[in-house]
Chains A and B, each alone.
Chain A
Amino acid sequence: MGGLSIETVSGWGRRPVSRGAVERPEHLLLPPDGHPVLARGLGRAYGDAAVPATPGARVLETVRADRVLAFDQGSGRLTCEAGLSLAEVLRIFLPRGWFPPVTPGTRFVTVGGCVACDVHGKNHHRDGAFGAFVDRLVVQVADGRLVECGPSRERELFLATVGGMGLTGLITEVTLRLQPAESGWMLVETEPLAGLGAMLDGLRDAAKDWQYTVGWIDCLARGATLGRGILIRGRHATRGEAPAGPASEPRRLAVPLDAPEWLLSPVLMRAFNTAYYRMHARRPGRSARIVPYQGFFYPLDAIGGWNRLYGRRGFLQYQCVVPRATGAAAVGRLLERLGAAGAASFLAVIKDCGPESDAYLSFPLEGPTLALDLPYRGAVTEELVHELNAIVIAVGGRVYLAKDAVTRAEDFARMVPRLSEWRRVREKWDPERRFRSAQSVRVLGDRA
């Protein structure tokens, strides 16, 4: 049957908000009428990547197309429909000793979404992004054909679809390689670091020995303490190190309503950041702990609807990556600019990325990446993003489309040197631009 319902549609940042004619079929298939359509998974992209190009346009939500089609216990090779979530992958396959090869900061994402955004995780420095583990995609392209593609088959379509934000066709099936994991527990070390230089050095040092690295930084600290924070390193605990039994699921809380604006006041933000830093700084130098994977990878998943903490106006998430050579100076400038704007963030995350992939629009490149939340306060917040973008463009960096809601088309073009190659491949498979989003209208100049 697959009826349509007109629903409010927004990204996880709840900004911007639009409407879509939403369909959630149990078997993914493009509508035969040839109308424009946008695929959407679990809606965790922050900005407008999964918001329809025009209010009321067709949205194909993939979450009910979630069948596992094949799994090989020997190799960890998984074939599934695109709407299967990483949460399900973990629930089904972790007890059998397999873990997603790459995971973003939430497990409530679909495998198709992971491909479309070419998501990265705390292991990017070592393992690369999600697309590096994808052997095969089935894409229903604009004219309705089902096309199989992969690293050595219809390679151009594959490289344009990985990180292509769903704009080359409807991803219906994915074959990927899971990684072995002996337990659901993580061995984790944390270390407080007093400034940005120490943090960037610490991330690079840790990258040599640790599969997972990430830093949390207090983006309200200034002057000598600019960039101070907590360095976190981890790896999967071996069977011997892990406590008996599966990693326990933390109790899930839910945010029942939109938080009031005062909760986001600079004073409270500063208090939160300082308290978080002090809490960790009190721990002895390098303390190693065994923790459940849920808390290590997905701390915010324990709070259902945490995006409501930013109130009704929503928030922008900003993530950029800058090349290694100029990285430290650029990150310093970004933090100074944020501090000057008083644009507090609950959490700023810093990470050292590894080499970029061949996928044309894939976000990561070799160097530091910085991610933070900006409570939306109107035009000033958007202007701040443009200023941050200018710093990023000046050093040859770029922003992450899965998070972006305001970057201008001309700025994006300057960030992504391979954009013209991607456009050429898209032109070949979807000359009419059947697949488009609010983001593709804004950033790529698609017609609305």
Chain B
Amino acid sequence: MKVAFVGGTRGMGRALTRLLAERGDAVALLGRDAAELELSARDLTARGARGPVATGHLDLAEPDGFGAGLDAADHAMGGFDALVVTAADFAAQKDLERDPARLRRLLDANFTGTAVLCQQAAERLAARGGGTICVFSSVAGDRARRSNYLYGSSKAGLSAFLEGLGFAYGDRHVRVVCVRPGFVKTAMTAGLPVPPFAGEPDAVARVVLRAMDRGTPVVYAPPIWRLIMLAIRMLPRFVMRRMRF
């Protein structure tokens, strides 16, 4: 694969880029922090990525720059055939509740920015015969909960978008993989209480890589979260209203 990767410097993204590199795929790293991108590019190069690992600027909050970011990846790899987005904004709900500007930033990045980027990439991939778009949404988008519906709704919108994208571009051979991680122990979730069934980034990355290879439309990671979310989605509204989580 030739993968344009947004968010590969950290957490689950870092783990997934390493699996790609170690099996000899080509990767271009897109993101905001040039110094971090450079360090991760060196890591992937040493681990066996095919060709030089290019880096380019892409910020989910700046849709005007998406074209240039995708161009950079295209240029470096002679046309990418997969886009992976693990980058997202995250904040504790209490910080979002009282700060409208902060909330808007999160919603813009996680839904608007990500959707606009994927739409653009889908057009490019379709025009050149197909490819894979793999995006990290979240189990938080499966059912709104009082304790994190602000973050969760950005992911609910994203999951809906990805489902539609997969339908719309399926016959033009663009496969869309919507990843819904449960709680995963990364720097993003550091300091939060760790619930049962928490996952590790490496294990999640292995599940996601298999899903990318197969073109699985929706993948939960760790897989147990499919059952957990099935149960939570079935809870009646009056129960959810009383739940504290």
Binding site for B on A (CB under 8 A): 1-5, 23-27, 64, 67-71, 81, 92
Contacts and interface: CB of A to CB of B under 8 A. Distances in A.
B187 A64 contact: yes
B42 A67 contact: yes
Nearest to B91: A1
B190 A70 contact: no
Contacts of B191: 1, 3-5
Interface range on chain B (Cβ under 8 Å from partner): 10 to 19
Contacts of A5: 190-191
B43 interface: yes
B42 A3 contact: no
Given A27-B36, A64-B187, A3 B192 contact: yes
Interface residue SS majority, chain B? helix
Contacts of A24: 187, 190
Contact of A1 (B36, B42, B90): B90
Nearest to A25: B187
A23 B43 CA distance: 22
Interface stretch (B7-15, B50-58, B227-235): B7-15
25 contacts: A1-B191, A2-B187, A3-B187, A3-B189, A3-B192, A4-B190, A5-B190, A23-B190, A24-B190, A26-B9, A26-B10, A27-B39, A64-B187, A67-B39, A67-B42, A67-B43, A68-B42, A68-B43, A68-B47, A69-B39, A69-B46, A70-B42, A81-B39, A92-B22, A92-B46
A24 B185 CA distance: 10
Interface of B: 9-11, 14, 22, 36, 39-40, 42-43, 46-47, 90, 187-192
A439 to B, nearest CB: 26
Interface residue SS majority, chain A? loop
A24 B191 CA distance: 10
Nearest to A3: B191
A2 B188 CA distance: 7
A340 B127 CA distance: 82
Given A1-B90, A26-B9, A26-B14, A67 B190 contact: no
B42 A69 contact: yes
Given A26-B14, A27-B36, A71 B46 contact: yes
The winner among B14, B36, B42, B190 for most chain A CB atoms within 10 A is: B190
A69 B43 contact: yes
Nearest to B39: A67
Given A1-B187, A69-B42, A69-B46, 11 more contacts: A1-B90, A2-B190, A3-B192, A4-B190, A5-B191, A26-B187, A67-B39, A68-B47, A70-B42, A92-B22, A92-B46
